Amino acid sequence: MVLALVMLSACAVFAQVPEAGGEYRQVGKFSSRNIVWIVAQVKLMFAAFILGVPMFALIIELIGFLTKEERYDRLAREFIKLSLIGFSATAALGGLLLFLIITFYPRFWNYMAGVFKPTMWIYPILFFCESFTLYLYWYGWDWLKSGGRKVVHLFLGLLLNLWGTALVFMTNAWATFMMTPNGLDPETGVVISVWEAINNATWHPLNIHRLIANAVFGGAIAGAYAAYKFLVAEKDEDRAYYDWMGYVGNMVAVSVFLVLPFAGYWLGKEIYDHNQQMGITLMGGFLSWLWIIQAIMIGILFLSANFYLWTGMERIDGAERYSKYIKYMLFVLLVCVLVWSTPHSLVASLEEARRMGGTHHPLLGVLGVMSAKNTAVNIMILTTFLSFMLYRRGNKEATVSWQTAGLTIQWVILGLASAWVIYLGVRGYFVDAATRIGFAPQQVLAVLLAIIAYTAIDFPLFKNAKPMGSIHWGKIPERSQYALFLLALTFCWLMGLMGYARSALRQHWHVYGVYRDTSADAFLPTLGQASLRISLSVIIFVVMISFIFWLGGLGSIKEGFSGISRRGIAVFAKMGAFCMVVIGGFVYFANSIPQVEHQPPVEIGADQDVWSLDQATVSAMGEKLFFGKGTCGLCHGVGTAGPRAPDLKDVAKIAGERVEGVSANKYLVDALVDPGVFLVEGYGNIMPRVDKPPINLTPQELYLVLGYLQGLGGGEITITKDDIPGSDQAAEPSDEAPSGVVMLGNAEQGRDLFFGAGTCYACHQVDGEGQAVGPDLSEIARINTAAYIYESILDPNKVVVGGYPPIMPVGFGEALGGKDLNDLMAYLMTLDGSGR
């Protein structure tokens, strides 16, 4: 709450009057986007906390109900109390975030509110239902626990989670629409279906992904809380209880975490299917090193979880017989982490990309493709599952008559699943991209079936097992508790990294391909810069959640005890130092890898004459576009086959021979603006049109790229302006009136109309006057024909300039009288940049 008041005060004092007609605002010298970013990320972490903890509590309470063990009920109740305190902080942060978005991005907020207007009423209703149910669930605990009403209390816990899930689904609709917009008219960009806008390509995958992630987060936070309480406990019974609590938190987190990568596969696949260019940019473009950081962090999660299980075996009598397997499992995990952390595309300079023939390392590139990465993560999942199962049977010895056969079958199941996963991974190198993508679900299915089959055998195998000893709760080395802290901290940081990935995926678009970000913050910061913002968000969350944990512990403090002991302070200091070292390590690694600040592409527009440039200049400019804005190098190699598309080194030589009756120039042009027409055998139809969003090359840029391709190897550039579609429309303005229009208007009266009753100035600027909501019209007559201008008045949504929302009133032109229309046209035709 204090943070919210400080931020509100700062915004109220420093918020400046925006330029560009209310489009963007700043806070003094601080970037508004950085402020929104940090507040949004902290809010997201708290949202995951208050959504994940009730999931964890419900699971634990249900286990207690079925097993009749009181400690499970106590554990669930303890965490719901913490969730109750955290709920207020989450609500305050949500209100602050809404205030910041409305203040800093008013026009974008209006656009999104217009698209999702019905949901803006549903959200507060769901929030009220969740709040009311949470209070009933907490305050009715004792009353519903007695008298056989426990089932009613469990139902309230389920209802609480349903309300929270509905809220997540609602907010996910807004977030995924920005990534994969749907329900829009393809020509005008106008929303025609709110439901289709909600039910976009990535809505369901993100719903499932975040639902699983929240459950993992709840278990991880529970484990970290238990670790701290274990370290400060002075009584053996307290240490035993919190040791058990940490085990339960880790068990829930790891069990659910094992299926999280599968949800990630689904989300990535839907992004790729919706827009292949977006998918390629996500996995192989400037974001490729982000996934190396992600791989390292997920590797840390797997290693930490396994380390905790291996260390936990020290408190189990009989588990020492499995210690001989640990070194082999560790070796497998480390090899898989190394494979998974191998970059797919390198952040290379133009000269480096030229030497390699693309952005892929000739040796390491083979480990960077998804066939290798999918194989690695599936093997890690199987290894972690095996660690958990060995831990589970640590002090048990099977007594059933078929124990030898059962154990043999279990090993065969794991062996066959591993072999199939590896086979598909290797096979992926010898098939086309479309087939290779289909192997991932098969690997996932094999692992899931193996886990289910292994578990189905394990339960009856050890149902009446002979105990080999006891589990000595509380007799676990203290170093194990740091693994629980590392799990929670890494997961928090990983959440921030994935938030950056989802935002960066849109590049310089608020809504990808629909609503462009034209602010000064439209660039994407480097991973090093992003790591600082993510780390600050994590530190703020850790400090606030630590305060909530301390506050929640006050209710259980006995009279006369302050609740703060020297031991507690010492442990908190050590944990704080540990957290800072871990976060510092993440920041150091993120800043040590290649850094790229992804700026919005600078377009070569209609006012730039590229047609008369010499061949060397055309080739040089085209090469920059090829590896830059055009993103061609993500799939194509030059001198070597690319990972997804053919080598283009000799494309100019073979273009005229590929299709009978099609000239080389037409083949090259069509291959860029209609790439599905001429497919090379063995490659899928994955290339987007480069003259449409999001790549959106201008006719001039198309000419330069084609010139570069023709000039490879010293070839002659034969492409001309006449070969490029659309090159004549923007480059050759005409003062002639369109058919049926008589240019007899009065330009002075047209200007008065533009800045007066016509209110054109409310969205357009001319020589700095007016508001820059729509395109600047200062030189409209120089770059467009009279026919185009006339059509834009009468049918404004027929052609919408990229980067601007389609908000011009459709009936505006029809509302003008004939004289007013002629006057306005006469004035607009004087705007040729001459200053008349």
pLDDT, tens digit, for every residue of 326-368?
Answer: 999 999 999 998 888 877 666 555 565 666 665 556 656 666 6
802 neighbors 512 (Cβ within 8 angstroms): no
pLDDT of residue 756: 79
- Partnered with residue 598 across adjacent β-strands are 524
The label of the residue with tokens 């507040």 reads 39
Q: Rounded distance, CA 160 to CA 126, Å?
A: 10
- Asked if the model's pLDDT at residue 767 lies above 50, the reply is yes
Average the pLDDT over 28-40 and give the result.
85
- Asked if the model's pLDDT at residue 384 lies above 80, the reply is yes
pLDDT of residue 17: 40
Indicate if the alpha-carbon torsion angle 554, 557, 559, 561 is positive or negative: negative
State the CB neighbour count (10 A cutoff) for residue 817: 8
- Asked if the model's pLDDT at residue 820 lies above 50, the reply is yes
- Partnered with residue 27 across adjacent β-strands are 15, 30
What percent helix, strand, coil does the chain show, rounded to 5? 65, 5, 30
- Asked if the model's pLDDT at residue 22 lies above 60, the reply is no
User: Which residues 6+ apart lie within 8 Å of 704 measured at CB?
Assistant: 604, 610, 618, 621, 622, 625
- Asked if the model's pLDDT at residue 166 lies above 90, the reply is yes
**Considering the entire predicted model, what is its pTM?**
0.71
Which tokens is 780 given? 């409209």
Q: What are the chain's domains?
A: 2-316+471-592 (no CATH), 615-729 (1.10.760.10), 747-828 (1.10.760.10)
Alpha helix locations (H) across 180-202?
A: 194-198
pLDDT tens, position by position, 648-681: 888 888 877 777 777 888 888 888 888 777 777 7
Average the pLDDT over 29-50 and give the result.
88
- Partnered with residue 629 across adjacent β-strands are none
Q: Rounded distance, CA 779 to CA 802, Å?
A: 17
Residue 520 or residue 235, greater confidence: 235
- Asked if the model's pLDDT at residue 690 lies above 90, the reply is no
pLDDT of residue 49: 87
Length of the chain: 836
Which tokens is 557 given? 């403090």
Of 37-46, 194-203, 381-390, 760-769, which gets the smallest average pLDDT? 760-769
Average the pLDDT over 75-79 and give the result.
86
Helix H, strand E, coil C: the string for 730-794 is: HHCCCCCCCCCCCCCCCHHHHHHHHCCCCCHHHCCEECCEECCCCCCCCCHHHHCCHHHHHHHHH
- Asked if the model's pLDDT at residue 118 lies above 50, the reply is yes
45 neighbors 55 (Cβ within 8 angstroms): no
pLDDT of residue 735: 39
- Asked if the model's pLDDT at residue 158 lies above 90, the reply is yes
Nearest 5°: phi and psi at 598?
-85, 105
30 pLDDT band, cuts 50/70/90, is confident
639 neighbors 353 (Cβ within 8 angstroms): no
- Asked if the model's pLDDT at residue 836 lies above 60, the reply is no
- The one-letter amino acid code at 112 reads M
Whole-angstrom CA distances from 409 to 405, 418, 771 are: 6, 14, 73
Whole-angstrom CA distances from 460 to 68, 377, 398, 441, 465 are: 21, 29, 9, 30, 9
Which tokens is 49 given? 């906390």
Residue 556 or residue 523, greater confidence: 523
pLDDT tens, position by position, 770-809: 777 778 888 888 777 676 777 778 777 666 676 677 777 7
Average the pLDDT over 406-423 and give the result.
94
Q: In this structure, what DSSP letter does residue 596 have?
A: -
Of 494-498, 542-546, 552-556, which gets the smallest average pLDDT? 552-556
Mean pLDDT, all residues of the chain: 80
- Residue 575 has, within 13 A of its CA and on its CB side, a CA count of 28
Which tokens is 495 given? 């959440």
- Asked if the model's pLDDT at residue 732 lies above 60, the reply is no
pLDDT of residue 1: 37
pLDDT of residue 710: 85
524 pLDDT band, cuts 50/70/90, is confident
Average the pLDDT over 259-274 and give the result.
80
527 pLDDT band, cuts 50/70/90, is confident
pLDDT tens, position by position, 547-567: 888 877 665 544 444 456 677
Q: Rounded distance, CA 812 to CA 762, Å?
A: 13
Q: Rounded distance, CA 192 to CA 299, Å?
A: 44
pLDDT of residue 19: 42
pLDDT of residue 350: 56
- Asked if the model's pLDDT at residue 386 lies above 90, the reply is yes
Q: Is 97 exposed, middle or buried (0-12, 13-18, 19+ CB in 10 A)?
A: buried
pLDDT tens, position by position, 86-115: 888 888 898 899 999 988 888 888 888 888
pLDDT of residue 357: 62
- The one-letter amino acid code at 792 reads S
* Radius of gyration of the CA atoms of the chain, in A: 31
pLDDT of residue 796: 75
Residue 453 or residue 340, greater confidence: 453
8 pLDDT band, cuts 50/70/90, is very low
53 neighbors 222 (Cβ within 8 angstroms): yes
Average the pLDDT over 757-765 and give the result.
78
Residue 451 or residue 522, greater confidence: 451
Indicate if the alpha-carbon torsion angle 98, 102, 105, 107 is positive or negative: positive
Alpha helix locations (H) across 393-432?
A: 403-427
Indicate if the alpha-carbon torsion angle 378, 380, 386, 389 is positive or negative: negative
pLDDT tens, position by position, 570-604: 888 888 899 999 999 999 988 887 776 666 666 66
375 neighbors 440 (Cβ within 8 angstroms): no
Q: Is 577 exposed, middle or buried (0-12, 13-18, 19+ CB in 10 A)?
A: exposed
